[in-house]
Structures are given as structure tokens and as C-alpha cells.
Homo-oligomer: A and B are copies of this chain.
């Protein structure tokens, strides 16, 4: 897999040194990104200076530094279940920018891993890696063949599957969050947030397979949130609830 840009290469070489094959550094980037080059040289002896032409041919969006890694740079297995854990399920996420941003946010807010239903853009794709800012090298992204398989995996961890939906039957995320101070919220238990397709959201079938539907209340005029913004909101709420002492 191709890993582009100083941030992604830094995270690859620092967190998955065994998977690094080659690192290519444009001559003028050798000094600009000296810290990244240092980490890369600890991971591999195959750090190559290249001309601007070669660098541009390797990647159009690398800021002068890119790497080739074996696919085991990505962890594909969730860790052992833990009490009160948060997981992300991606159902048919098609936009690499959104998928990468959600992986970055899941990592930032302490989710234990991401479950990607087949059809979701691959975590190894260069645009996902880049927009994840290297978080694909921090948390596991496990691929399952179908939404039903994702559900079985989540239930096998004694976690609840929470879909996001604007529908009337949903619980409000704000209520879940505010309630937690005085009472136990569903977010205190192990749970997985399901995020659907950017344009269409979750399908009716996917919603029926969820254990609960949560709406993100919106007091303004926008019809909906960007899916990565919705994910940031939900995952921040989960982290906040995990941090509250009972």
C-alpha cells in the first residue's frame, strides 16, 4: 500500500515499523521533514532520496514524502472485548475523505476499533490513509461481508448496535448525554455506533437490525449533518460518558 504525506508516513513508521518497505523523500523535503526521516530510518534502511520528478510520479499528494508498506500495516482484528467499550461500524461509506476522517475521530475519542461492512471504501486506499492522518495505523479496521455479520460480531462482544437516524422513534443524543450525570445511559454500556452511506444514510433493513436508534438533535435549518461530523458528535458523547464517574 502507498502511504502519502509526512503525517501518515510518521505514524506508519512509528506504529508499524515492521510493515515499512521503502520510504521515498524528495531532495528538498529531507530537511523540512527531518523528524519524519529520522523515525523512518529507525524503521528501515530503505529510505531513498528522489528527485522532484520521481516524487511527483510516485504520488501527486505527498508533500515530498511517501512510503510503500505491506498490507499488515493495517491491523484487521479487534482487541479482546472490554467493559463499556465503543466501536464504530461503517455501513457502505463511499467517500474516502469521510471514511478516513471517521477513523481519525474514532481513534481520537478512544474507540477500540472500526468494523467496515464490505462495500465500504478500503482503509488501505491512499485517500483514506491520508484523511485518517495516520490513524489507520493506530486502531484496527476489521472487514465483514455483510451488515448482519457486523451485528453478530458486535453482539458477540455484548455490545448494543446504535444506529443514527433522524426518525421520530429515535432517542436524542443530547438526552443520553445529559441523563448520564444522574442516571445510567445506554452509552455507559458497550456499544457500537453505525454510520451509513453519505448520501442515503442507513437503509430500512440496517435500521431494523439496530438495537436502538439515536438522533442528533439539530436546532437550525440544515437538513442533516455530514456523516463525519455526525460521527464526531456521537463519539465525543461516548467518550464524555465513559469519563463520568458513577
Contacts and interface: CB of A to CB of B under 8 A. Distances in A.
Contacts of A218: 108-110, 239
B243 A217 contact: yes
Interface string A20-37: 000000000000000000
Contacts of A177: 177, 240
Interface stretch (A41-49, A50-58, A157-165, A227-235): A227-235
Interface stretch (A74-82, A99-107, A142-150): A99-107
A191 interface: no
A127 interface: no
Nearest to A243: B174
Chain A interface main SS type? helix
B239 A236 contact: no
A219 B236 contact: no
Interface in A76-115: 97, 101, 104-111
Contact of A232 (B104, B133, B229, B242): B229
A234 B237 CA distance: 11
Interface range on chain A (Cβ under 8 Å from partner): 35 or more
A203 interface: no
Nearest to A112: B220
Contacts of A169: none
B226 A239 contact: no
Contacts of A219: 109-110, 239, 242-243
A62 interface: no
Contacts of A216: 236
Contacts of A230: 232
Contacts of A221: 15, 107, 135, 138-139
25 contacts: A7-B223, A101-B228, A104-B225, A104-B226, A107-B222, A109-B220, A110-B220, A111-B220, A133-B222, A135-B221, A135-B222, A139-B220, A139-B221, A174-B236, A174-B239, A178-B244, A217-B243, A226-B228, A228-B228, A229-B229, A229-B232, A232-B233, A233-B236, A236-B236, A236-B237
- 5 tightest CB-CB pairs across the interface, nearest first? A110-B219, A229-B232, A108-B222, A138-B221, A232-B232
